[in-house]
Amino acid sequence: MESYFFLYWYMKNILSALFVLLLVAKSIAQQPEFLQTIEVCNSSVFGGLRPRITLVHDSIPVISFNRAGADPAVFVSRYSGGAFSAPLRISSPGTLPLSSTVNSAEIKSAGDTVFLLYAEHTAEASISIRRSLDGGLSFPDSFCVASYPSNHVEFPELTLLSGGNPVVAYIFSDLNMINTEIRAAYSTNGGAVFTSSTGITGLLPGQPCECCPIAVEKAGNSVFIGYRNNISNEREFYLLQSNDGAQSFTGFVAIDDYEWIINTCPTNGIDLLPMGDSLHTAFASKPGGTVQIFHRGVHHTGTNIGTVGLNENSPPAQNMSYSVLAGANDTLFLAWQDTRSGSTDVYFSFRTPGQSGFSQAFAANDPVAGVQRTIDMAYANGLLHIVYTDLTNQKVIYRKARLTNTTSAEEIPGPNFQLTYINQEQSIRISNDKERIKNVLIYTISGSVSQEIKGNNQQEINISTKELIPGIYLAKLLTESGREVVLKFVLTQP
């Protein structure tokens, strides 16, 4: 079947042989548009506790989650071909990985290397790391960060330095979980061997909260560990700072001003996200009658603390918890779990360039009855990847979204993107002489995604149109420099 291609371009002249379009999107409204909703696993079988997500090569979701009970375990599932793989058990049978809504495996990736970190209490308390070199398909490498015969360890977190070398931080305590400290270790050979764990003490009065997750991230030339301190039940958040690659931590930054006094365990941790010259933090505190989520930005040198921004919601939320951050190129997402109007769900807000505060709260989960909890996110190439647990329906759910009309762009003077229809191949060719193409999304005129194509940072890409029905389409290009360009084309059948 022969197809014909028409490209519309409003200028003084119409080129008949080569179709050139300079069409860019101007920000008008900012709304999330959900593109996919996929079940990752049945949590009644695989647990689905505290799912975490990483993106291999910024595009392939790999999700980890834990199972508690008589046979606790750590699992991983990888996206491929429109679905997630059957959960792969990572922890060995007979071992006892810590598994709860606040204590599960952590996952990070760099290139094809994926690290999975978790605490376990079998013969000894230990921090274990598993490594995949094939993008999360298998995890044959198993290493021990640290082990202790008569202590307790929990809440391990990791970040990756240059060369993919991991830094690990965790909470260390006695068996009664009374005397706590933060310990850190680092590797210089990709995680195969770690330095002896260093206890970080003496910088602040009090001690780390025994039941609150921590976070660790590299920002600029510093490594930061975020944690909640406990000074006679006053529990506030601080950043510990290292300027020598986590060999030592010699400074701290106070980021929480709310002086929350609580005699029981808050079980709320902190999340960190480096972006540009800032380290973004998200945490829960209780300045009034309800627990609320806050955001604060810190310069990567540890100075110039930004303003705390309360995430306002309507209707009012109660007991907000489990905050996480994601973002890139000055687009920032903040997500959390809360209860409002009698329902527990997961929500997110966003802040884009030029936006002074966060947007209204949007439900991240499908509108279903019951309890949705423990959200995590990753963001790359203009796409937001979300994972959470649907407790009522016993599922781990993955969703993909984008923000509509969020990028302000300008025309590039001179020769630019050229879009040509190759009739004999039933494909379109997009090329230009200035920008490299990172990826392309093909949308129908109604806004649905028909195709997603990797550009591999080339200046020319061919896209098959054999599976497209006649109609109007938009090709949205993301370039290596971060520019977004939209080309309009029409496929017709005589």
Q: What is the pLDDT of residues 313-331, one digit of tens each?
A: 555 667 788 999 999 988 9
How many alpha carbons fall within 13 Å on the CB side of residue 412? 16
pLDDT value for 313: 57
- 472-483 mean pLDDT: 80
Task: Give 321's contacts (C-beta < 8 A, 6+ positions apart).
Answer: 267, 268, 284, 291, 293, 336, 337, 338
- How far apart (Å, rounded) are the C-alpha atoms in residues 377 and 6? 39
Query: Is pLDDT at 91 greater than 90 in this prediction?
Result: yes
- How far apart (Å, rounded) are the C-alpha atoms in residues 115 and 96? 19
Per-residue pLDDT band at 15 (split at 50, 70, 90): very low
pLDDT value for 332: 94
CA of 306: how far to CAs of 62, 291, 295, 299, 328, in Å? Answer: 33, 21, 9, 8, 18
Task: Give 123's contacts (C-beta < 8 A, 6+ positions apart).
Answer: 149
- How far apart (Å, rounded) are the C-alpha atoms in residues 380 and 157? 21
End-to-end C-alpha distance for the chain, whole angstroms: 10
Report the chain's C-alpha Rg in angstroms. 24
**In this predicted structure, which of 7-21, 275-289, 425-439 has the lowest mean pLDDT?**
7-21
- How far apart (Å, rounded) are the C-alpha atoms in residues 456 and 397? 29
Query: What are 459's two structure tokens?
Result: 């200046």
Q: If we measure between CA atoms, which residue out of 413, 459, 416 comes closest to residue 440?
A: 459
Q: What is the pLDDT of residues 193-212, one digit of tens each?
A: 999 988 897 788 889 999 99
pLDDT value for 3: 40
| Cβ-contact 351, 325 below 8 angstroms | no
Task: Give 463's contacts (C-beta < 8 A, 6+ positions apart).
Answer: 427, 428, 429, 430, 440, 442, 451, 453, 475
Look up tokens 């480096």; give the residue.
274
| Cβ-contact 357, 311 below 8 angstroms | no
Task: Give 357's contacts (C-beta < 8 A, 6+ positions apart).
Answer: 309, 351
Ranges 266-280, 354-368, 398-412, most confident: 266-280
pLDDT value for 59: 94
Q: What is the pLDDT of residues 372-422, one digit of tens each?
A: 999 999 999 999 999 999 999 999 999 999 988 633 333 333 336 777 777
Length of the chain: 494
Query: Is pLDDT at 192 greater than 50 in this prediction?
Result: yes
- Cis, peptide link before residue 266, omega less than 30° from 0: no
pLDDT value for 11: 27
pLDDT value for 433: 76
Q: What is the pLDDT of residues 154-188, one digit of tens each?
A: 999 999 998 899 999 999 999 988 889 999 999 99
pLDDT value for 4: 39
pLDDT value for 23: 37
CA of 393: how far to CAs of 123, 309, 372, in Å? Answer: 35, 34, 9
pLDDT value for 245: 93
3-class secondary-structure state, position 51: strand
Per-residue pLDDT band at 447 (split at 50, 70, 90): low
- 252-279 mean pLDDT: 90
Query: Is pLDDT at 253 greater than 70 in this prediction?
Result: yes
| Cβ-contact 55, 385 below 8 angstroms | yes
- 139-163 mean pLDDT: 94
Look up tokens 């590797």; give the residue.
187
How many Å is the maximal CA-CA distance in the chain?
A: 80
pLDDT value for 19: 32
pLDDT value for 405: 60
Look up the pTM and report it.
0.76
Pairing state between β 141-148 and 125-132: antiparallel
User: 363 or 117: whose pLDDT is higher?
Assistant: 117
Helix (H) or strand (E) holding 43: helix 43-46
User: 5 or 341: whose pLDDT is higher?
Assistant: 341
Query: Is pLDDT at 445 greater than 80 in this prediction?
Result: no
| Cβ-contact 152, 125 below 8 angstroms | yes
- How far apart (Å, rounded) are the C-alpha atoms in residues 269 and 256? 12
> Dihedral, CA atoms, 275, 276, 279, 284, nearest 10 degrees?
-50
pLDDT value for 9: 30
pLDDT value for 22: 33
* Beta strand spans in 361-417 (E): 362-363, 372-380, 383-390, 395-404
**In this predicted structure, which of 134-143, 386-395, 456-465, 479-488 has the lowest mean pLDDT?**
479-488
Query: Is pLDDT at 228 greater than 80 in this prediction?
Result: yes
**Burial of 337 (C-beta count, 10 Å sphere; 0-12/13-18/19+):** buried
Query: Is pLDDT at 13 greater than 60 in this prediction?
Result: no
Per-residue pLDDT band at 16 (split at 50, 70, 90): very low
pLDDT value for 423: 67
pLDDT value for 279: 94
Q: In the predicted model, what is the mean pLDDT of the chain?
A: 84
Task: Give 2's contacts (C-beta < 8 A, 6+ positions apart).
Answer: 423, 494
- How far apart (Å, rounded) are the C-alpha atoms in residues 67 and 97? 9
| Cβ-contact 469, 412 below 8 angstroms | no
